[in-house]
Amino acid sequence: MGRTTGTTGIDDVARAAGVSASTVSRVMNGRAGVDAALAERVRTAASSLGYRPNPLARSLVLGRTQTIAVVVPDLANPTFQGMLRGVTLAAARDGYRVLVADTSEDAAAEEAIVRETRQRCDAVVLCSPRMASDVLIAAVAALDPVVVINREVPGIPGVSADYRVGIVELLEHLATLGHRRLVYAAGSPSSASDAARRAGLADFALARPDVEVLTVEAGATFGDGAAAASVVVESGATGVVAFNDLVAMGVLASLAAQGIAVPAEVSVVGFDDIPFAAFTTPALTTAAVPVGELGELAWRRLAARFAGEEPEGDVMLRPELRVRASSGPVRTVISPAAGAGAGAGAETGAGRS
């Protein structure tokens, strides 16, 4: 009846203003059809009591929380940080808040986490979900207002970056520079976006049969890149396309340690354009994935759904080639391998996306 908790409730305001709770509610929600004088009295009472409608109670009766969940595999990954930021900023503009959940790359725990967080929200954004396709498809059905970033799910609209086209741009860039023997330092085979990249590799192979592209299994981290560098050297390739910028940085570091000049002897390109890609030595040529936009777009889909609009089709954002100093024309042929050169083993919270 009002004074149960320390908070001032709608009844307190109603009493102070000498009206009913209904009227206070109407005034607080700006609903038309309230006598101006009364409304003013209510507003005065409300502000003098410092009344703030309890969002929880509103949510319960309204059936919406004004909150959406964003689930990411790893908050330390720049890619997901960017998506989270994009969603958060866009949602905030429309008065929505974001509940964030980090699944710690645990594909098995993912579904439970998603369901749990979804229950407290009006919708959920799944960033590069790791769960198996069948699980994902089933889960998504129960999540309804949901948008998936960077993973195709039949039936539900998704927003993704076009990794397939992006890698082709990178390959073409190197081919144009005269490279004819390249290596792709691949990511995890279980990565959906790596599959897209490999599809791009195939596209490219058809279009440019004169360019040879070897694939070496690397991974998604700096250490993986460093480890893969030796294979690159042995292969005699003049250019390497890394799964992502982190891997590229690992390659860069290992190459530098072996005294191999970039891009004079070997060109190195990454993928993603993480915030620090511009600051490596040499600055990294890469394909920029507009993670912020992906997040923003994800929000727009949700906002549209909330507004009762029909779901649109999938959106594919094309990565943008950013040519920097790490790639250049073919000059010399590197000398056939010397050592096994492992390189640094640093670990940074980033990786697959």
Partner DNA sequence: TTGAAAGCGTTACCAG
Partner DNA sequence: CTGGTAACGCTTTCAA
**Chain residues in the site for DNA (CB under 7 A):** 1-2, 4-5, 7, 9-11, 18-26, 28-29, 31, 33-35, 38-39, 51-54, 56-58, 60-63
The count of residues in the chain is 353
**Rounded CA separation 148/119 (Å):** 17
The option from a copy of itself, DNA, none interacting with 21 (CB < 5 to 8 A, set by class) reads: DNA
Judged by CB under 8 A, which of 112, 278, 333, 340 binds a copy of itself?
Answer: 278
Minimal distance, residue 36 CB to a copy of itself, in Å: 26
The option from a copy of itself, DNA, none interacting with 85 (CB < 5 to 8 A, set by class) reads: a copy of itself
Nearer to a copy of itself, 104 or 335 (CB): 104
Judged by CB under 8 A, which of 44, 104, 133, 190 binds a copy of itself?
Answer: 104
Give just the sign of the alpha carbon dihedral 22, 28, 31, 33. positive
Residue 114 lies near a copy of itself (rule: CB under 8 A): no
Q: Which residue type occupies 77?
A: N
Helix (H, G, I), strand (E, B) or coil at 93: helix
The option from DNA, a copy of itself, none interacting with 67 (CB < 5 to 8 A, set by class) reads: a copy of itself
Q: Give which of 266, 227, 233 is closest to 247, Cα–Cα.
A: 227
Stretch binding a copy of itself (CB under 8 A), from 34-42, 93-101, 153-161, 258-266: 93-101
The option from a copy of itself, DNA, none interacting with 44 (CB < 5 to 8 A, set by class) reads: none
Total residues at the site for a copy of itself (CB under 8 A)?
Answer: 45
Contacts of 170 (CB under 8 A, 6+ apart): 241, 269, 271, 285, 286, 287, 321
Query: Can you name the residues that pair with 286 across neighbouring β-strands?
Result: 322
Q: Do the beta carbons of residue 341 and residue 68 sit within 8 Å?
A: no
**Rounded CA separation 119/114 (Å):** 9
* DSSP conformational letter for 272: B
**Rounded CA separation 118/122 (Å):** 7
**Rounded CA separation 161/291 (Å):** 8
Contacts of 321 (CB under 8 A, 6+ apart): 169, 170, 173, 285, 287, 288
Nearer to a copy of itself, 117 or 230 (CB): 117
How far lies 295's CA from each of 107, 273, 292, in Å? 21, 16, 5
Judged by CB under 8 A, which of 15, 41, 43, 85 binds a copy of itself?
Answer: 85
Judged by CB under 8 A, which of 97, 112, 133, 309 binds a copy of itself?
Answer: 97
**Rounded CA separation 117/280 (Å):** 38
* Interface mask toward a copy of itself for 33-72; x: CB under 8 A: -------------------x-xxxx-xx--x-x-x-----
- Contact positions with a copy of itself (CB under 8 A) in 236-265: 249, 253, 256
Binding residues for a copy of itself, per CB under 8 A?
Answer: 5, 52, 54-57, 59-60, 63, 65, 67, 75-76, 81-82, 84-85, 88-89, 92, 97-102, 104, 115, 117, 119-120, 222, 249, 253, 256, 275-276, 278-281, 346, 348-350
